[in-house]
Structure 1
Amino acid sequence: GLGEASGSNNGIFVMGTIYDDIHDIGKNIVTTVMKSNGFDVKDLGVDVPTSKYIEAIKQYKPKVIGISCLLTTCFDNVKQCIKEIEDAGLRKDLKILVGGGPVDEAAGKYMGADLVCKDAQQTVDFCKKAMGVK
């Protein structure tokens, strides 16, 4: 039936590291774990500009995207990115997850994210719920 996971059909997950940040270890762990859980992961890489996120959201229409940020100096970039995604009218059906070493609940609220993910498993669990995967 439709609900069966055959290969990557649990849904599309777009992931990247925010611009001015070139850390990719956390992002790579999340994308690997998401792939192994049957998600079709679109990895935008590191130092990702807002325009590239917006382009990917329009192209792939994901229910969830992930923004990785390991530098406290880039918190404002994530906030700006999320604001521009909203301004582009793309936030209505979209959940935005943020994660990275220094990102805590307060930072997530500041950025305007839906959820702060502390590890890859939390990302998987949230995406399964959001995408209706049993």
Structure 2
Amino acid sequence: MKKKAVTFKNILVIEDNNAILDVITLILQSESYKVTGLSKSADMMMHIDLNKPDLLILDIMLPDGDGRNLLKQLRTNQPTEKLPVLMISAKYTAQNIQHGEYKPNGFLPKPFDIDELLDRIEGILAGKTY
């Protein structure tokens, strides 16, 4: 795992698998990101409104919602329409996600390599799309 410069960027992770959520959180914190993890989407909008994350990592399959519908909600809401979103999924592919009307800034299939996750995050924060 490569060390990045201190960033203090605020990242919200919504992932229902607690083991995956814990690993992502620990890795991002070790890279100097400020991380909040949620296992359900119910509090997503409230958290975004209060904490203004710089990036959202969003699992597609959640127990209380579909990540694609949540992305649509973000993209059609004035304060969150430009929030960078990296979607992750074990079931879907980039082609499934990129054909929708509302597109994330990036997609990463599970399981993923930690360095690839960090590269995608850094790239999306720099304005790239994957």
Partner of 2:104: 113
Root mean square deviation, CA, Å: 2.5
| CA apart distance, 1:70 | 5.0
More relative contact order in 1 or in 2 (CA 8 Å, sep 6+)?
Answer: 1
- Structure 2 unaligned regions, length at least 5: none
Q: Does 1:102 align with 2:96?
A: no
> Does the Cα contact within 8 Å between 1:27 and 1:68 map onto a contact in 2?
no
TM-score normalised by the chain length of structure 1: 0.71
Which has more strand, going by share of residues? 2
Number of positions where the alignment pairs a residue of Structure 1 with one of Structure 2 = 116
Q: Does 1:127 align with 2:118?
A: no
1:65-76 superposed matches below 5 A: 65-70=56-61
1:1-134 superposed matches below 5 A: 5=6, 9-17=7-15, 22-44=16-38, 46-49=39-42, 52-70=43-61, 77-89=66-78, 90-92=80-82, 94-109=83-98, 110=100, 112-118=103-109, 119=112, 120-131=114-125
Which has more helix, going by share of residues? 1
CA distance in 1 between counterparts of 2:97 and 2:105 reads 8
TM-score normalised by the chain length of structure 2: 0.72
CA distance in 2 between counterparts of 1:84 and 1:38 reads 29
Identity of aligned residues (%): 11
